[in-house]
Structure 1
């Protein structure tokens, strides 16, 4: 399905899609459009601001360098996902957890950063993005111990191929306004990640799994620790 959005001075807004498009699919579109979000200041080469994107409104640093000989503009954007005025986040299954202030003082359990590198070509009508590379790293360390963190890295590459003047046939669908680039939680029940587990006695299995995690991860983290941790989460939900 085709979507619509407004793009003015490097800012993406007014994202809309046909009524039948699910929230999950729309979020994928937002992730693609997010790389186009640029707040370029013509009077400054290095600056910092709170920028809106799929993660929310987060601290973002810009560094701009112009190569006059090659007629190119090199722009680097770094986004600190730990410092956001408005962060899109949803906590699930934390009803019985107690907040540990000492743990927070030692370090955050969830940390993230995103970097974007652009090569742009100046034109009479504005700058044309020739190439864009985005890299995002999320680290989760629930126990704040050595070698006890899980890391996720995602990359996105966008390369200019050519420009076509062929008009796009207007869509006949009724479009629904979905606002900005910010991620939207859908109503779908997504059972994230689950391990097929036979439950016979939940309480006994919880105790055994916790004992296994404690006994097997004293000197160093055992290779089956992530799987056992997922099992523990699933058992606690029974």
Structure 2
């Protein structure tokens, strides 16, 4: 049975846990028998700047970098960051976007305005746009730091991995004291898109459930 392959682009703002989310995803793929490569761009992460991760998976991956117009899935932790990197998505690709708005310094100081038509512009990029309020879910759990894992849960519908792989990855990657809340955040994120007709935008076949490393 052929092993699927795909390219996932993650974009967020410094402090949102974008890099941790990508690490959980990588671990989940590795635990499920995939080869995976990733490359990170931190930018001005400490000052709320853009943070991006290129993540590629398949039977064998040689380069971690995704070319513009080639990503199967874009996971964005903030609306404008989704728009900023939308050109990486391939035609027919899926986009899972956190509805949260984080104003950059230029907007906070009144020098610029936050765009009011972001969602409409994203819909023009793909008809497979899924907006989710990951912040509201995290706040309902009284753990704002779980926004990233809520978003991973929502995006998991588009990836060829069982739920157990993500949970095992979190148990491996996260400190023991925060595993439980993050597992609950992941499950809550999955519920956000459950039943909305999501399906895999990735290429290739379906991995064997017994494919492990």
TM-score under structure 1 normalisation? 0.27
Between structure 1 and structure 2, the one with the greater Rg is 1
TM-score by length of 2: 0.29
Greater strand fraction, Structure 1 or Structure 2: 1
